[in-house]
Chain A
Amino acid sequence: MVKPDKSKKSGNIGLILFGLVFFGLGSFFMWFMALKPLVLSYQADQWPLVACTITHSTVDSRSDSDGTTYKAIINFSYQINNQNYNGGSYNFNEAYSSGRSGKQSIANQYRVGQVHECWVNPEKPSQAVVSKDIPGIVWFIIPFTSVFIIIGAAVMLGSTGLFPGLPFSRSKNTGHKRVSLNQQGYTELQARYGVKKKLLGSIAITLFWNGIVSIFVYNIWQSFNSGNPEWGLLIFISIFVLAGFGLLLWVIYNLLSLSNPLPILHSTEGSPELGQEIQLTYTFTGNIKKIKQLTIVLEACEKATYTVGTDQRTDTNTFYKKELLNASSPSEHMRQYTKVTIPADSMHSFSAGSNEIEWQIKVTGEIPYWPDINYEYPIVIRPTSKKLR
């Protein structure tokens, strides 16, 4: 049975929070900068109109790294229900926006001392405006914040599985390669990573790592030379220097492996089907007597790849393992062949992008005081070719 995926759940919680932040911020700004002024502008149609005297008229500005934004600040005094008020605003817009000239023309229109008409909220007389027109910025804020709200809602719904189900036709194949039913016949099996590839890979990684670390080491050396030693950096970088030393040992290990006997595997069938018996022939280049313990194993594993945040992880589970050879004497090593029947009731090779069933033959050889032999030979297992009834 399939185990529940805990990592997916934690990934989902992160996505729900991410969606919630987008949705929440979008909703907040849409309400305060667009919907609230819009609603008030419509409500103001019903508000009483009174005479007001302009007491303050200016253009206020705010500057930050994105530039300067402006707002027309208009205050006025008015009387309602025999009560005097001083305050108010030009309209219901509370946001600052770019472009000074438009705001300046508003300020010019409402000069201090002039008498105009203003709309006063009868339920809250301290709220009054000289213009009840819908602020222009509303038509920009609504689509802008909608994008945030839609993205946030989509992420939240998608993460909680509440999205309406999509028909299967949306993705017809995620990268499945069907296993060929054709026989390959007698075949030399190819190792996944040859010893030369391993060596070149280790050299490349070691050069890259130590190249970067050496820049910091050089800086530290210079600081000591100048009589102003950077002890903190020295302690910090020493961990990375040790790791670089470990990588050097890895290169030396792979270099020594070059002199190991190299297994060469042949199979009577390069791509056997489930239930088929094959004979494996193994020979070695180099001195086979160096090997103390030789093991050949047929194994199958399921590999599941998934994404957590920005990381891609692969979990592996070995579901079949059969020892084909476990020999400690050179005479047995020289035997050179072994037979195996692929289990008929198992699963054939399968590869579909993120999910995989992989079969392989593993050859390990223990060499005293020397790097061991360790090779993997992938093998494609076919489904049964018989038409079953």
Chain B
Amino acid sequence: MNELNISIDKNSYQPREQVQGSIRWQLIKPPKEIFLQIGWQTEGRGTQDNRVEYEQIFITDSHSGTENFYYELPASPYSFSGKLIELNWFIVAYTKKGKVQTSTDIIVAPGRVAVTI
């Protein structure tokens, strides 16, 4: 059974705060490469926009393992929610060609609460 998990120190952050976390995998076939991305995407009425702010590639021949990551978040954009647009931050990990992937949502905004407009 394939397992790929993301663990992070918390789920909501101030802008420019550091995200600390780790990825843990147990896969039937050695993944060769595991990609980790931190970014955001919009949801709602408009065509989806997104941006990957940080990417790290872990090269491994092991069926299982753990790797840590650290990233200082940028000052913007904030997580927010409006009538037409929502902006959500995410952390995603996946093996080559996206065969196994997992993701988790985080909040990045002052006070660690998404801005409501």
Q: Which positions in A face B, CB cutoff 8 Å?
A: 1-3, 5, 8, 165-169, 171-176, 178-179, 181, 300, 302-307, 315-317, 319-320, 344-348, 350, 352-355, 357, 383-385, 387-389
Contacts and interface: CB of A to CB of B under 8 A. Distances in A.
Among A168, A175, A178, A352, the most chain B Cβ lie within 10 Å of the Cβ of A168
A174 B51 contact: yes
Contacts of B97: 167
B110 A304 contact: no
B42 A181 contact: no
Nearest to B114: A347
Given A350-B87, A388-B17, 13 more contacts: A2-B85, A3-B45, A167-B97, A168-B37, A169-B35, A169-B37, A169-B52, A176-B77, A306-B47, A355-B47, A355-B85, A357-B117, A388-B16
Contact of B46 (A168, A181, A354, A383): A354
Contacts of A302: 82-85, 117
A1 B81 contact: yes
A87 B46 CA distance: 62
A167 B92 contact: yes
Nearest to B111: A388
A355 B37 contact: no
Contacts, number: 148
Contacts of B64: none
Interface of B: 14-17, 35, 37, 39, 41-52, 55, 74-78, 80-87, 90, 92, 94, 97-98, 101, 103, 110-111, 115, 117
Contacts of A175: 49
Given A2-B45, A389-B14, A347 B37 contact: no
Contacts of B98: 165-167
The 4 closest A-B pairs by CB, nearest first: A304-B46, A352-B49, A167-B98, A304-B45
